[in-house]
């Protein structure tokens, strides 16, 4: 069954937050599968996508709470980019805001196309 744009964006956001914050700051192996996030078929349901994104945001929050000044200034290589910890955080905030705006726009567009019930 085809996925909605919102489901795809939730998967993209989950992958981005996990890769740039959780994986980078925990020094875990990067197992992100970006092509699967963008796939229009298969994948998680909307509810499962939101649950997974929520769990990733919780984990990212825990990572952010324990960061030191040294980790914020330390160099990292994330998704092929050479960056610093503080920029990685800024990147995630900006990226999240952009896609969240796209999700809202998508829902507003479809809400206008549906007939009102009352």
- pLDDT tens digits, residue range 58-83? 999 999 999 999 999 999 999 999 99
Q: What is the mean pLDDT of the chain?
A: 87
- What is the mean pLDDT of the segment spanning 11-37? 90
pTM of the model: 0.84
Contacts of 63 (CB under 8 A, 6+ apart): 21, 22, 25, 26
Predicted local distance difference test score (pLDDT) of residue 117: 46
Q: d(Cα 17, Cα 10) in Å, to the nearest integer?
A: 11
Topology adopted by domain 5-113: 1.20.120
Largest distance between two CA atoms of the chain: 57
Please give the Cα distance from 13 to 108 (Å, whole number).
Answer: 20
Q: In terms of pLDDT, which residue wins out, 42 or 22?
A: 22
Say if residues 43 and 36 touch (Cβ distance below 8 Å). yes
């Amino acid at each position: 069954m085809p996925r909605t744009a919102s489901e795809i964006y939730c998967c993209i956001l989950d992958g981005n937050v996990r890769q740039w914050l959780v994986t980078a700051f925990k020094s875990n192996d990067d197992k992100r599968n970006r092509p699967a996030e963008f796939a229009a078929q298969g994948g998680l349901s909307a509810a499962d996508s939101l649950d997974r994104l929520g769990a990733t945001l919780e984990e990212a929050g825990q990572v952010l709470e324990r960061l030191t000044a040294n980790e914020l200034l330390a160099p990292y290589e994330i998704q092929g980019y050479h960056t610093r910890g503080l920029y990685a955080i800024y990147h995630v905030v900006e990226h999240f805001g952009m896609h969240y705006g796209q999700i809202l726009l998508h829902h507003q567009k479809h809400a206008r196309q549906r007939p009102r019930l009352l």
